[in-house]
A and B are shown apart, each in its own frame.
Chain A
Amino acid sequence: MTILQVENLSKDFGGLRVLENITFSLAAGSVVGLIGPNGAGKSTLVNLIAGADRPTGGEILFASRRLAGLPAWRVARLGLARTFQITRVFTDLSLGDNIRLAAWTRGLRGKGLEAEVRRLADLTELSDKIAKPSRDLTLADQKRLQLARALALKPKLLLLDEVMAGLNPSELDRAIQLLAKLRNEGITMLVIEHLMRVIMNISDRVLVLHQGSLIADGPPAEVVASSQVQEAYLGRRYVQNR
């Protein structure tokens, strides 16, 4: 079953074409990696799907529902959650209140609300910092908080824009385990990540974006082996990194 269908999606910024005729779909329950060099248009694609920005052309269908024109908050309430590459936490609220607000917006109240906040803080290993003002969190913790806050929406589809950047190797392992756990809960994920080790580890499928176009779409091993992808992306520093 397809949960997300993107058809001929394009985006211009001024005269600049940043995304060109992007077409792909996500099967419900799958984990799909989205890779591509800096400036390829990955974050722009996430913004379009999440309703934070309007496409210049094309269609987005989420659970067979057209998303075009819906404001971001409606898209979120349909069960499509996202994180931001440059962390955006509610700095005037404590860590717990960040999560609580999202769960409350979803409709949880009273004991159920508190239990959910605790569960998500545990899941993201933030329990001991629940009362901390979120402005005082480290970058890694802000990334975790963004994930917890997105999960508080009980999403069917999660768009993760470099949630693991800046984590150390052991944190990275735990993050990978966490994503595996989320997949077991049936959450579909589109994961943007520069670290090939992560992408190879968690993805059922990999999409490669290069200068605004999708240049590859397939199983991780196949995509990595593709000469076009090697040239566009992997041939440079990333292959050496990992």
Chain B
Amino acid sequence: MKNKSLIIAVLALLCAFLLPLLTNDYIVQVATEIAMYAALAAGWNLIGGITGYPSFGNVAFFGLGAMLAGAFSVNWHWPYWLAGIVAVLLTGVLGFILGLPILRLKGHYFSIATLALAEATLAIVTNLQFLGGGKGTSLPLIGSPLLFYYIMLAIACLSALITYLIVHSQYGNTLLAIKSDESAAQAVGINTVLAKSTAFALSAFLGSMVGVVYAIWQSYIDPPTVFEPGITVLMLVMTMIGGAGTVAGPIIGALIIGIMTQLAMAVSQNASSLILGLAIIVVVLFLPQGILGSHRSGKGGKRPGKHSFSWRG
């Protein structure tokens, strides 16, 4: 079982690596987006899937990564790699600090608070002159689609690796225990506030990293685009479809949604969101546990169970 997963992972990585040699620019562009969303969804999965706190505000971290890196490099003339590293670290720390109060809320309350958090972050960013004061930020154009494909692929792999390490550690079990029953987790001595906030920080860290790369890839960013709530919804939907709480789930979900989006656009440019929406509903209806969640055997341990994604009040 473990070997089989490893072989599949290596083969998938090989295909992804060779993809640009075998296809055209359009496919590479789509694949870059899929890798980007796979990384975002994996980041969402840490807090939403494994810890059981469905965040509706993770786009805030993506947006902050993009805007902060842009601002550091434009205003302070930092090299972009440095601007990016500082932006990612700052966002991670912010995720931890924001997690302390927000993660006291549960279920719907948590979801609403995170939604508000993302909107508040957008409002603050829009009003800060340092971050462009609501106007867009232009970054130097690096016209190398291949470079960005491989960077996004590397981040997606890093996200999967981090998830793998967490899921196979006692820290991961700590998060799963919190998802099962937070009072019981405290009763065995787990500092749940620290554990949850750390998961939120890691989620913020990954989201921010993707945002940093997205900004320089697009070479132009503005707040409404990088704080678009739909981006969070995609992270959530992809994770759910692939299998919340699993390592491969977010990747599979990103692949499925990414490909379905392209197919829907090919059928009809105008009705593509409608087609996509219907497709999502069908998948969720027939695979409520997600693709990986549905055919796991009762082996014990880390299988995503019936309640792999729960709305507890």
Residues of A within 8 A of B (CB): 50-52, 71-73, 76-77, 81-82, 84, 88-98, 100-102, 104-106, 131-133, 135-136, 149-150, 152-153
- Chain A residue numbers with a CB within 8 Å of B303 are 133
In the complex where A81-B187, A153-B189 touch, is A88 in contact with B173 (Cβ < 8 A)? Answer: no
Which B residues are in CB contact (< 8 Å) with A92? 176-177, 179-180, 245, 302, 304-305, 307-308
Establish whether residues B176 and A50, one from each chain, have CB atoms under 8 Å apart when the complex forms: no
Contact of A91 among B170, B187, B189, B307 (CB under 8 A): B307
Say which residue of B173, B183, B186 sits within 8 Å of A93 (CB atoms).
B173
Q: What are 18 A-B contacts with C-beta separation under 8 Å? A: A52-B186, A72-B183, A73-B188, A73-B192, A81-B188, A82-B187, A88-B183, A89-B180, A91-B180, A92-B304, A93-B173, A98-B177, A100-B173, A101-B174, A101-B190, A106-B189, A133-B303, A136-B298
The residue in chain A whose Cβ has the minimal distance to the Cβ of B303 is A133
Residues of B within 8 A of A90 (CB): 173, 176-177, 180-181, 184-185
Q: Which residues of A contact B179 (CB under 8 A)?
A: 92
Chain A CB within 8 A of B301 CB: yes
Which residues of A are found within 8 Å of B177, using beta-carbon distances?
A: 90, 92-93, 98, 101
Expressed in whole angstroms, the minimum distance between the Cβ of A95 and any Cβ of chain B is 8
* Cβ A52 vs Cβ B183 within 8 A: yes
Indicate if the CB atoms of A105 and B180 lie closer than 8 Å: no
Residues A105 and B305 in contact in the complex (CB < 8 Å), given A93-B180, A94-B300: no
Q: Do A94 and B301 form a contact, CB below 8 Å, given A104-B170, A105-B190?
A: yes
Complex: chain B residue closest to A71, CB-CB: B186
- Structural contact, A52 and B187, CB atoms closer than 8 A: yes
Docked complex Cα distance between A196 and B308 (Å)? 41
Interface contact B181-A105, CB-CB below 8 Å: no
For B52, the closest partner residue in chain A by CB is A92
Query: Which of A73, A97, A131, A150 has the most chain B CB atoms closer than 10 A to its own CB?
Result: A73
Chain B proximity of A149: nearest CB distance (Å): 6
CB distance from B193 to the nearest CB of A (A): 8
